Structures are given as C-alpha cells and as structure tokens.
C-alpha cells in the first residue's frame, strides 16, 4: 500500500521507472506471452516485407531496373506491401489485444490486488472479452487517425511558415549578417521546442485513450464506456501522460535504433552497400524491437495505476478484494473440515 500511495506524487520519470521495474519482475511471463502472440506474427510480416524481394533491389540497381519489367516490379512490391499491411491490421485488432490485455491483467493483479495470475488464466479472460476488446481497439484506431489528420494539417501549415521564414532570413543575410546568425539559432531552438511539444501532444492523446484496454480488462467496461473512462482518468494530467508515452516509446525503440545505426555505419565504412548485411540488420532490429514491445505495455500499465491512485486511490478496491479472499479462504477451510469429519 505504501508504494501505491507514493504514486500520488509521481512524475513521468517515476512512471517510467515503475514500468521498467514491472518489466524486470515479470520478464519470464512477458517473454512467454510475447513468444505466443507476437513473435510468430512478426516473422510472417518479415516474410511479406518488400525489402526481402529482388524486385525491391532492382529499383536501386540502374542496370537491373532497365532490364526488368516495371509492371512486374511494382505489382509484386505492392502485393507484398498490402499483404503486410492487411496482416498487421488484422493482428492489431485481434491478437495484440489478447497479448496486451494479458500483460495488464497479470501486472494489475500482482501490483494492486497482491494476487498471482497465471498466463493461462489471463489469456482465457482476454478471450472471453475478445469482442469488446476488438471494438475498443477499433475506436482507439479511429482516434489515432483523427490525431494524425490534425497533425498533418498543422505540419502542412508549419512547412509554409518555415519556408517563408527561410526566404526572409536569406534576404536579411545580405544586409545584416549577425542578425542572420541570431535568427538561425533562435529558429533551431523553436523547431526543437515545437517538435518536442507536438510529440507530447500526440503522446497525450495516444496514451490517454490507450487506457481503454485496462478499462475493459480490469474494470469490465464496455467498448464505448471505456473511451469515456479514458477521458475521466486523463483529466489534468497532460504532461504526465504525454511525457510518459513519448519517453516510453523512446526507451523501447532506442536500443533497436542503436543496432540499426551500427549496421548502417558498418555498411558505410565498408565502402559498398552490402544487401545481405542490410537484410540481416533489418531482421535483428525487428526482433529486438518486438522483444522490448511488452516494456511499453508495462510503462502504460504503470501509468494507468498511477492515474487511478492520483484520481481515486485504490484503497476501497483493495479492501474489497481482501474481503473476498478472506471469504474464499473461510469456505475452503469449512470444506476441508467437512471432508476431514467424513
């Protein structure tokens, strides 16, 4: 209880630290769930990846692209691309729900209810909520699409503004050079700040409405009401949610990015572009990113628990579970006494 109450004053760094702690604590269970519901799908997606087709490399080789049939090249690539997207979409609304939902149930039961939940039990409960999770995920995807659409409009306007700013800067540079230096530095700072702020906004909406998953899995909400629950939990927690989601993704993707960068640098140093090395690096990077994927779910689950502690506290819910467990223990004891008496 003390550890949960301390979350009332938690910052996003505490959420990240708590999520990493949960990931380490339940690493074995998380790896098994990931191995069952995620890794096989990623292997299929890798097979459909256009990077692994000869047609893709023909586009990069001027000699081969002249000799090849353009219709065959593009038809094969688009077939694989749409096949990959279709498989990814199907996975997102089905097995991904089961994987993330099982993780949420296991973490919540252990952290809040002090109850051990097996993988089999968690997966079974998620499949019993399969339809609700599917509808909730589809609503979440629509929200993500709306956020991206607004972001696209903002970026479109921003590009025009930056373009005119650069033109004005170029004109000024001919007359007052020192002003150009100051404005250039100021412009870089503004761009970095804008990117950070936009990332936080996107992270806020993505992180806030991801809470539909624990709302369904933990609180037994319906798909529609789970979205309303997200709005309630996310009130007055803009920076906590936005920064937790943004930096959580950075942590998850940082190590795969480093691996990919090492392979890219090795290719550049060799002086020639090694196709096989690029393919191997793609597979290794993808495998590592998928192994670390449950870490983001752990961070978001820690965020969910933190938000509930901040807004509601979990004392009542924990007390109710303790009463239920005590009643269950008493029933088991009576049954044992009756069996011994017989």
Q: Tens digits of per-residue pLDDT, 169-193? A: 666 666 666 666 777 777 788 888 8
The residue segments making up the domain with residue 283 are: 2-311
Predicted pLDDT of residue 9 = 80
Helices (H), the chain: 2-5, 12-25, 27-37, 39-47, 54-60, 62-67, 70-93, 95-111, 119-128, 130-173, 177-210, 212-217, 223-233, 238-270, 275-291, 293-311, 315-341
pTM > 0.85: yes or no: no
Q: Is residue 322, in this structure, part of any structural domain at all?
A: no
In a domain, 49, yes or no: yes
* Cα 107 from Cα 113, distance rounded (Å): 10
336 found inside a domain: no
Distance in angstroms (rounded) separating the CA atoms of residues 246 and 235: 18
131 is written with which tokens?
Answer: 């339809």
Counted domains in the chain: 1
Residue 52 three-state SS: helix
Asked if 105 and 128 count as a contact pair (C-beta separation under 8 A), the reply is no
CA atoms within 13 A on the CB side of 187: 15
Q: At what angle do helices 130-173 and 95-111 cross, to 10 degrees?
A: 100
In a domain, 320, yes or no: no
- Cα separation, 239 vs 82, whole angstroms: 37
- Residue 69 has a pLDDT of 57
Q: Which residues contact 290 (CB under 8 A, 6 or more apart)?
A: 34, 38, 39, 42
Q: Answer yes or no: is pLDDT of 72 > 70.
A: no
> Residue 116 in 3-state DSSP?
coil
The pLDDT of residue 265 is 81
Band (pLDDT 50/70/90 cuts) for residue 272 is low
Instruction: Indicate the range of 99-103, 253-257, 280-284 predicted with least confidence.
Output: 280-284
Q: What are phi and psi of 174, to 5 degrees?
A: -75, -25
Domain assignment present for 325: no
**Average pLDDT for the chain:** 81
Cβ atoms within 10 Å of 135's Cβ, excluding its own: 17
Residue 331 resides in a domain:
no
CA dist., res. 23 & res. 32, Å (int): 13
């Amino acid at each position: 209880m003390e550890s949960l109450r301390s979350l009332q004053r938690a910052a996003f760094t505490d959420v990240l630290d708590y999520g990493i702690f949960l990931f380490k604590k339940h690493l074995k269970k998380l790896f098994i769930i990931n191995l069952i519901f995620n890794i096989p799908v990623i292997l299929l997606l890798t097979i459909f990846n256009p990077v692994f087709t000869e047609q893709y490399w023909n586009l990069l080789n001027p000699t081969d692209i002249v000799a090849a049939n353009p219709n065959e090249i593009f038809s094969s690539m688009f077939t694989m691309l749409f096949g990959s997207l279709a498989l990814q979409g199907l996975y997102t609304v089905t097995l991904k729900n089961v994987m993330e939902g099982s993780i949420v149930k296991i973490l919540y039961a252990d952290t809040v209810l002090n109850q051990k939940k097996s993988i089999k039990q968690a997966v079974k409960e998620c499949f019993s909520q399969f339809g609700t999770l599917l509808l909730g995920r589809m609503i979440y995807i629509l929200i993500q699409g709306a956020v991206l659409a607004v972001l696209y409009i903002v970026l479109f306007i921003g590009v025009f503004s930056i373009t005119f700013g650069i033109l004005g800067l170029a004109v000024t540079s001919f007359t007052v050079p020192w002003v150009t230096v100051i404005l250039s530095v100021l412009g870089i700072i503004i761009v970095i700040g804008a990117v950070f702020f936009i990332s936080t906004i996107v992270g806020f909406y993505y992180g806030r409405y991801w809470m539909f998953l624990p709302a369904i899995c933990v609180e037994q909400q319906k798909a529609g009401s789970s979205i309303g629950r997200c709005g309630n939990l996310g009130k007055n927690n803009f920076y906590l949610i936005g920064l937790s989601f943004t930096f959580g993704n950075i942590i998850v993707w940082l190590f795969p990015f480093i691996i990919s960068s090492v392979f890219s640098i090795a290719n550049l140093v060799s002086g020639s572009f090694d196709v096989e090395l690029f393919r191997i690096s793609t597979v290794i990077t993808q495998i590592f990113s998928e192994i670390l994927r449950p870490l983001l779910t752990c961070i978001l689950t820690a965020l969910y628990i933190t938000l509930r502690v901040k807004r509601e506290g979990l004392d009542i819910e924990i007390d109710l579970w303790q009463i239920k467990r005590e009643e269950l223990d008493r029933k088991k004891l009576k049954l044992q006494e009756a069996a011994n008496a017989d």
